[in-house]
């Protein structure tokens, strides 16, 4: 153990030296001074720049929130903005030019190897985190399901931190006015789902005298797969996110899409498509542009069931009569059709008693330090200090996530409510160096929302952050195309159900089998490394 | 147009220079050669210099390591491309869609130009012209949204018409039989007016005396189009055709991407959307460069071929 520690320290030192050398040429093109500026009292003030992922506003460096954070930690906080249109391209261009922030959130863990190999992300030893951010480390240990400290590992080294993130499974959202009109209850099993959805097709729930309604579209597919114990995710864009593997109960990751259970779920979807329960236009998607979580088919009386996060529709309770409780999707729905109403229901229970919907990973806001920050140990220390504060200090959590009371948010009986829209809030420096809705945050700051979301959702299939391996990333795009093609063709009846077997063979032959095996081995190695 | 004019001047200088040596010639016309230097420098620095970057197609390239620091992998990326199970169908789709477009969208602006040219009322002509090229300014994201709604089996006017005629509604955008048709026709709608501008400009340069002479000879409208207007357009048509042929592999990413769904991958997935899906997973600079290099070699060959055919059949080839 001691030896490992010394080795890690030596590695850190060597990384620091190498990146310091590399930074000399990088810093000049940066435009801003690479290391530090002088503070008021003549001392050196550490400069820290944050890239909080994809955002749509550039932070004003003189904003009040920025100033308060700077004072609290004695740093010079800088925004580092990348336009969210073509985010990844713009970011890559700046990396290619040698520019980088000090701290960055990465949305896609599959990019970690590229960032490490490309000399962008620097090592952050776990020993150092434990030493400098003890409260953070304690919170992670308490929430650890055995994967927390493994997530940011690559080739045996740790390259960043994860945050405990309070996530909720997708909720099943029904048109209550349709159910009421037909005198139906919210269904619970897959068979009951079929009955209610068939009634939506046959009994003219919108009362316009025409048979122009369907039951559901692609956003509810995930729940049908969930009824067979699988986590098959239909993203915002029509298609399936094959790159997200599922972690089995035996702690072995696998591709859910090629499991025999998937064929059973496809049989149900195919049958429902044939009966008109699934909107024929699911192929072009429920969302027709604008805010991604809007379901235009749901709002425009085409389907009576959709799936989304509870808070996309309501903020903090199931009360749909209180306008303050309406989130974007609910506002749009009511705007189009004031008589429309919604009700949450459980995910369908399958023949073997399984049910559940997709949920995001409990390890969110994956944050890395760059090789530029690693040049200056004080930057790393300050970053860890800020991280630790987010896990102890509720006032700082509010300042970072919500801003200043009365200016950026107000307290209501349903918890804090933002007073500005997302773009303006970001300009003011709120959310700039944020670590998201941690367990502590949900418990202390938004208990009402937490209770509501827990209440209306059931079992969650949490997102598994697969360890990045080359065998996987080389073929995943091919596997994705294969799967989407086969699944859409089977559901829409263009190919017979038994085509599934051909598809599975093709999937395995195209590198799917090798990728699955490589991920399983990498995962087993990680778990073994922890013990 | 400028290129064609220089070509007409060119034979004289070449003829003279043949008698003298190259350097003698250079000394004689040194002012001209000096004037050429800035242009040459521009092309050297901004067009030929960056071509050095193509070597990353043969490397495992990481930006911060640079070209000198990245590992050489030879033809690995090309091998990956050719061995991909989707590569052949993607290449086939790209070529088929481009050929359809060449067949339909290339002559269409010429026909529109000829039709506009025959309109007597200037006011009507101007309005018609403006309306025809307006779609050019609308982005594909918007156009695809409009067209998907327009062709919707439940809400679109075309399908409502089909249903009223007692026919089954057709989901044009998601049906692999109609998808390429949707691509070609939407491209036609968007580009026809803008494409005709260059021909209209050429038509205005036709000497009215030629039309008068044709009338004297008793030529009708159609005959005037065939024997006066079209021959006048031939040089520009040739040049446009050569340039279009270079674009056969350069599909319109924005257009296809916005229409593509999993049910139409088999007929509509083209090189650029394929590369996008492959490349979005990680920063694959090298792989995408390799694909582009491959594409450009083929495009170059096609341009050379078309130019060769043009030189054999008429005098208006580019070189």
- In this predicted structure, the answer to whether residue B70 has a pLDDT above a threshold of 50 is yes
Can you count the helices (H) and strands (E) in chain B? 18, 2
* B56 within domain boundaries: no
pLDDT at A478: 86
ipTM: 0.74
Tell if the CB–CB gap between A283 and B263 is shorter than 8 Å.
yes
**In which band, very low, low, confident or very high, does the pLDDT at A468 lie, cut at 50, 70 and 90?**
confident
Q: Which of A252, A254, A243, A248 is nearest to A109 (CA)?
A: A243
- The verdict on A24 touching B (C-beta cutoff 8 Å) is no
C-alpha–C-alpha distance, residues B308 and B319, integer Å: 9
Domain ranges of chain A: 2-166+362-376, 467-530
The pair of structure tokens assigned to A25 is 């040429």
The pair of structure tokens assigned to A397 is 């959590």
C-alpha–C-alpha distance, residues A110 and A470, integer Å: 10
Question: In this structure, is the dihedral angle defined by the CA atoms of residues B171, B175, B179 and B181, taken in order, positive or negative?
Answer: negative
**Are A174 and A186 within 8 A, CB to CB?**
yes
- In this predicted structure, the answer to whether residue A520 has a pLDDT above a threshold of 50 is yes
C-alpha–C-alpha distance, residues A64 and B224, integer Å: 75
- The end-to-end CA distance of chain B, in Å, is 13
Measured from the Cβ of residue B199, the count of other Cβ atoms closer than 10 Å reads 22
**Are A312 and A325 within 8 A, CB to CB?**
no
C-alpha–C-alpha distance, residues B93 and A97, integer Å: 36
Give CA torsion, residues B124, B129, B130, B131, to 10 deg: 90
**In which band, very low, low, confident or very high, does the pLDDT at A2 lie, cut at 50, 70 and 90?**
very low
pLDDT tens digit string along A130-142?
999 999 999 999 9
Q: Which of B60, B64, B257 to mutate to probe the A interface, most A CBs <10 Å?
A: B64
**In which band, very low, low, confident or very high, does the pLDDT at A378 lie, cut at 50, 70 and 90?**
very high
- The end-to-end CA distance of chain A, in Å, is 12
pLDDT at A239: 81
**Are A348 and A189 within 8 A, CB to CB?**
yes
CATH of the domain at B290: 1.10.3720.10
Tell if the CB–CB gap between A119 and B62 is shorter than 8 Å.
yes
Mean pLDDT throughout A508-515?
Answer: 93
pLDDT tens digit string along A135-191?
999 999 998 877 788 888 888 889 999 999 889 999 999 999 999 999 999 999 999
pLDDT tens digit string along B142-176?
899 899 889 988 888 999 999 899 888 889 998 88
The pair of structure tokens assigned to A377 is 């140990």
**Residue A290: strand, helix, or coil:** coil
**In which band, very low, low, confident or very high, does the pLDDT at A1 lie, cut at 50, 70 and 90?**
very low
Return the higher-pLDDT residue of A205 and A13: A205
**Chain-wide mean pLDDT for chain A?**
85
Tell if the CB–CB gap between B265 and A484 is shorter than 8 Å.
yes
Q: Report how far apart, in Å, the C-alpha atoms of B208 and of each of A413, A424, A432, B111, B220 are.
A: 82, 62, 68, 20, 15
* B31 within domain boundaries: no
Q: Which of B50, B53, B56, B63 to mutate to probe the A interface, most A CBs <10 Å?
A: B63
**In which band, very low, low, confident or very high, does the pLDDT at A425 lie, cut at 50, 70 and 90?**
confident
A vs B, Cβ pairs < 8 A, gives 99
**Are A16 and A27 within 8 A, CB to CB?**
no
- The verdict on B66 touching A (C-beta cutoff 8 Å) is no
Q: Residue A440: how many CA atoms within 13 Å on its side-chain side?
A: 22
C-alpha–C-alpha distance, residues A189 and A168, integer Å: 21
Percent with pLDDT over 90 in chain A: 50
- In this predicted structure, the answer to whether residue A270 has a pLDDT above a threshold of 90 is yes
Tell if the CB–CB gap between A485 and B266 is shorter than 8 Å.
yes
**Chain-wide mean pLDDT for chain B?**
85
Q: Which of B262, B265, B271 to mutate to probe the A interface, most A CBs <10 Å?
A: B262
Can you count the helices (H) and strands (E) in chain A? 22, 17
pLDDT at A190: 95
Inter-helix orientation angle A394-401/A377-390, to 10°: 100
Name the most confidently modeled range: A276-280, A360-364, A429-433: A276-280
* Identity of the residue in B261, B266, B285 whose CB atom sits nearest the CB atom of A283: B261
pLDDT at A361: 86
Q: Which of A89, A209, A194, A112 is nearest to A158 (CA)?
A: A112
- Could you give the angle at the alpha carbon of A199 between the alpha carbons of A198 and A200, nearest 5°? 90
pLDDT at B6: 45
Q: Which of A18, A88, A210, A284 to mutate to probe the B interface, most B CBs <10 Å?
A: A284
pLDDT at A35: 42
* B43 within domain boundaries: no
pLDDT at A203: 93
Q: Which segment of A364-368, A501-505, B79-83, B211-215 scores lowest on mean pLDDT?
A: B79-83
A44-51 vs A75-79, strand pairing mode: parallel
Q: Residue B303: how many CA atoms within 13 Å on its side-chain side?
A: 16
The pair of structure tokens assigned to B109 is 């602006």
* B27 within domain boundaries: no
Tell if the CB–CB gap between A484 and B262 is shorter than 8 Å.
yes
Q: How many domains does chain B have?
A: 1
Residues 264-303, chain B, touching A (beta carbon < 8 A): 265-266, 269, 277-278, 280-283, 285
DSSP state of A240: B
* B169 within domain boundaries: yes
| Residue A141: alpha-carbon gap to chain centroid | 21
pLDDT at A237: 66
Helix (H) or strand (E) holding B106: none
C-alpha–C-alpha distance, residues B11 and A271, integer Å: 73
Give A-chain residues touching B88 at CB under 8 angstroms. Answer: none
Tell if the CB–CB gap between A114 and B62 is shorter than 8 Å.
yes
C-alpha–C-alpha distance, residues A282 and A295, integer Å: 11
Mean pLDDT throughout A332-357?
Answer: 94
**Are A422 and A87 within 8 A, CB to CB?**
no
Taking CA atoms, what residue in B is nearest to A90? Answer: B283
- In this predicted structure, the answer to whether residue B314 has a pLDDT above a threshold of 80 is no
Give A-chain residues touching B283 at CB under 8 angstroms. Answer: 88, 92, 111, 114, 118
A305-308 vs A75-79, strand pairing mode: unpaired
- Return the bridge partners of A76, or none: A47
C-alpha–C-alpha distance, residues A174 and A306, integer Å: 7
* B39 within domain boundaries: no
C-alpha–C-alpha distance, residues A91 and A96, integer Å: 9
Measured from the Cβ of residue A440, the count of other Cβ atoms closer than 10 Å reads 19
C-alpha–C-alpha distance, residues A450 and A444, integer Å: 10
Beta-carbon contacts of residue B214 (< 8 Å; ≥ 6 apart): B223, B224, B227, B228
**In which band, very low, low, confident or very high, does the pLDDT at A236 lie, cut at 50, 70 and 90?**
low
pLDDT tens digit string along B227-281?
999 988 988 998 888 888 888 887 788 899 889 888 898 899 998 888 887 765 5
Return the higher-pLDDT residue of A104 and B292: A104
Match 């229970």 to its residue by tokens. A349
DSSP state of A157: E
Q: Which of B84, B23, B153 is nearest to B291 (CA)?
A: B84
Tell if the CB–CB gap between B261 and A238 is shorter than 8 Å.
yes
- The verdict on A469 touching B (C-beta cutoff 8 Å) is no
C-alpha–C-alpha distance, residues A433 and A65, integer Å: 11
Domain A2-166+362-376 classified CATH 3.60.21? no
Q: Report how far apart, in Å, the C-alpha atoms of A36 and of each of A27, A74, A77, A148 are.
A: 11, 12, 11, 33
The pair of structure tokens assigned to A437 is 């809705």
* B23 within domain boundaries: no
pLDDT tens digit string along A380-422?
999 999 999 999 999 999 999 999 998 899 888 778 888 887 7
- The verdict on B153 touching A (C-beta cutoff 8 Å) is yes
pLDDT at A529: 61
- In this predicted structure, the answer to whether residue A220 has a pLDDT above a threshold of 60 is yes
The maximal CA–CA distance of chain A, rounded, in angstroms, is: 78
**Residue A403: strand, helix, or coil:** coil
C-alpha–C-alpha distance, residues B168 and B153, integer Å: 9
| Residue A342: alpha-carbon gap to chain centroid | 25
- The verdict on A90 touching B (C-beta cutoff 8 Å) is no
* Identity of the residue in A111, A477, A489 whose CB atom sits nearest the CB atom of B263: A489
pLDDT at B248: 82
Q: Report how far apart, in Å, the C-alpha atoms of B120 and of each of A232, B117, B193, B224, B287 are.
A: 63, 8, 19, 15, 55
The pair of structure tokens assigned to B210 is 């030629």
């Amino acid at each position: 153990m001691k030896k490992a520690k010394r080795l890690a320290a030596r590695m850190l030192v060597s990384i620091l030296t190498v990146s310091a050398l590399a930074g000399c040429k990088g810093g000049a093109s940066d435009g801003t001074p690479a290391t530090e500026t002088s503070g008021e009292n003549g001392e050196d003030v550490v400069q820290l720049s944050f890239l909080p992922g994809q955002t749509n506003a550039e932070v004003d460096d003189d904003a009040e929130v920025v100033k308060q954070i700077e004072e609290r930690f004695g740093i010079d906080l800088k925004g580092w903005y990348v336009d969210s249109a073509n985010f990844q391209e713009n970011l890559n261009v700046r990396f290619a030019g040698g520019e980088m922030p000090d701290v960055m959130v990465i949305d896609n863990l599959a990019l970690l190897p590229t960032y490490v190999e490309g000399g962008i992300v620097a090592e952050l030893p776990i020993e150092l985190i434990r030493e400098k951010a003890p409260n953070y480390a304690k919170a992670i240990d308490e929430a650890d399901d055995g994967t927390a400290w493994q997530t940011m590992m690559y080739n045996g080294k740790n390259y960043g931190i994860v945050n405990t993130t309070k996530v909720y499974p997708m909720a099943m959202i029904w048109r209550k006015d349709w159910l009421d009109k037909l005198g139906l209850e919210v269904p619970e099993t897959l068979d009951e789902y079929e009955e209610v959805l068939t009634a939506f097709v046959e009994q003219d729930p919108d009362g316009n005298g025409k048979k122009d309604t369907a039951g559901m579209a692609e956003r509810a597919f995930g729940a049908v797969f969930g009824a067979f114990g699988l986590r098959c995710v239909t993203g915002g864009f029509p298609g399936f996110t094959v790159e997200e593997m599922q972690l089995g109960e035996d702690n072995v990751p696998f591709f859910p899409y090629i499991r025999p259970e998937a064929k059973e779920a496809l049989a149900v979807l195919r049958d429902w498509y044939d009966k008109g329960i699934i909107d024929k236009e699911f192929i072009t998607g429920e969302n027709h542009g604008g805010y991604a979580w809007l379901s235009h088919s749901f709002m425009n009386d085409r389907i009576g069931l959709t799936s989304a996060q509870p808070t996309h529709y309501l903020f903090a309770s199931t009360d749909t009569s209180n306008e303050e409780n309406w989130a974007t999707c609910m506002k749009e729905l009511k705007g189009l059709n004031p008589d429309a109403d919604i009700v949450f229901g459980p995910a369908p229970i399958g023949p073997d008693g399984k049910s559940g919907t997709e949920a995001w990973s409990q390890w969110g806001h994956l944050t890395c330090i760059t090789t530029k920050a690693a040049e200056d140990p004080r930057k790393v220390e300050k970053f860890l200090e800020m991280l630790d504060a987010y896990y102890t200090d509720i006032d700082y959590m509010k300042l970072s996530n919500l801003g200043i009371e009365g200016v950026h948010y107000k307290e209501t009986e349903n918890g804090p409510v933002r007073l500005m829209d997302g773009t303006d809030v970001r300009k003011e420096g709120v959310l700039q160096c944020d670590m998201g809705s941690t367990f502590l945050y949900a418990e202390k700051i938004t208990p009402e929302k937490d209770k509501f979301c827990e209440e209306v959702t059931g079992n969650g299939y949490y997102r598994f952050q697969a360890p990045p391996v080359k065998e996987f990333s080389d073929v995943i795009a091919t596997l994705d195309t294969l799967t989407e093609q086969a699944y859409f063709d089977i559901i829409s009846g263009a190919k017979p159900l038994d085509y599934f077997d051909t598809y599975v063979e093709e999937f395995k032959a195209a590198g799917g089998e090798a990728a699955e095996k490589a991920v399983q081995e990498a995962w087993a190695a990680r778990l073994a490394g922890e013990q | 147009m400028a290129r064609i004019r220089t070509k007409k001047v060119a034979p004289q200088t070449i003829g003279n220079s043949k008698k003298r040596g190259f350097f003698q010639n250079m000394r004689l016309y040194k002012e001209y050669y000096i004037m050429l230097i800035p242009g040459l420098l521009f092309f050297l620095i901004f067009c030929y210099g960056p071509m050095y970057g193509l070597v990353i197609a043969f490397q495992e390239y990481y930006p911060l390591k640079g070209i000198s620091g990245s590992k050489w992998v030879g033809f690995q990326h090309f091998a990956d491309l050719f061995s991909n199970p989707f590569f052949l169908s993607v290449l086939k789709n790209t070529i088929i869609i481009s050929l359809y477009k060449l067949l339909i969208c290339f002559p269409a602006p010429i026909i529109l130009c000829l039709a506009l040219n025959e309109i007597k009322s200037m006011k009507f002509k101007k309005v018609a012209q403006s309306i025809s090229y307006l779609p050019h300014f609308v982005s594909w994201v918007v156009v695809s949204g409009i067209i998907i709604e327009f062709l919707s089996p439940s809400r679109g006017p075309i399908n409502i018409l089909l249903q009223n005629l007692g026919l089954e509604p057709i989901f044009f955008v998601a049906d692999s039989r109609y998808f390429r048709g949707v691509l070609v026709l939407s491209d036609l709608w968007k580009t026809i007016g803008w494409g005709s501008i260059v021909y209209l400009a050429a038509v205005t340069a036709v000497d009215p005396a030629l039309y008068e002479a044709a009338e004297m000879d008793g030529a009708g409208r159609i005959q005037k189009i065939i024997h006066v207007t079209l021959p006048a357009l031939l040089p520009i048509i040739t040049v446009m055709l050569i340039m279009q042929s270079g674009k056969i592999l350069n599909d319109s990413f924005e257009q296809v991407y916005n229409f593509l769904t999993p049910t139409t991958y088999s007929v509509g997935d083209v090189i650029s959307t394929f590369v996008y899906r492959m490349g979005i997973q990680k920063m694959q600079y090298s792989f995408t460069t390799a694909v582009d290099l491959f594409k450009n070699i083929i495009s170059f060959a096609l341009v050379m071929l078309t130019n060769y055919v043009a030189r054999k059949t008429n005098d208006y080839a580019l070189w």
